[in-house]
Amino acid sequence: MLKKILFILIVFATNNTFSQCLTPVSLSTSNITFSNAQANWSAISGAYRYVLKYRICGTTQWSSLQTYSPDSSRNIPSLQQATCYEWTIRTFCDSTNNQIRSDWSDTISFTTATFVAAPFNPLIVNNLDTNYCG
């Protein structure tokens, strides 16, 4: 009987490592341009680092970025213009074996801006003064 209780406690403790580290909340995306965006979240007490993953909406391939506490934002670089992206984040609360981590957060989406080239307006001068001093 004691072995069964010990086994249950070990399994329970092993399966609940995720609950020891809180999932980031208050997610938002700001400073969205045609090629970059800034992911923001509320800092988690006890966090060692965060791993953020992002992808084009509707695809399966994730790219990952990480940042270390106390940071609570991360630039997402090299994005395609006029494209929908989604991102999610998790917290790691230990620096050694990555076992104490949160669940992934809810996914948040944003769309990058469209690149608009500056208009070409050459300076055209019709009256040039050709008088030379001399």
- Where exactly are the structural domains of the chain? 17-111
For the chain, give the percent of residues with pLDDT over 90: 67
pLDDT at 17 over 50: no
Q: Which fold has domain 17-111?
A: Immunoglobulin-like (2.60.40)
**pTM for the structure as a whole:** 0.74
- The dihedral built from the CA positions of residue 87, 93, 99 and 101, taken in this order, carries a sign that is negative
Tell me the sheet residues that pair with 30.
38
Strand order in the sheet with 84-92: 63-68, 49-56, 84-92, 108-111
**116 band by pLDDT with thresholds 50, 70 and 90:** confident
For residue 125, what pLDDT is reported?
67
CA distance 106 to 57: 14
**133 band by pLDDT with thresholds 50, 70 and 90:** low
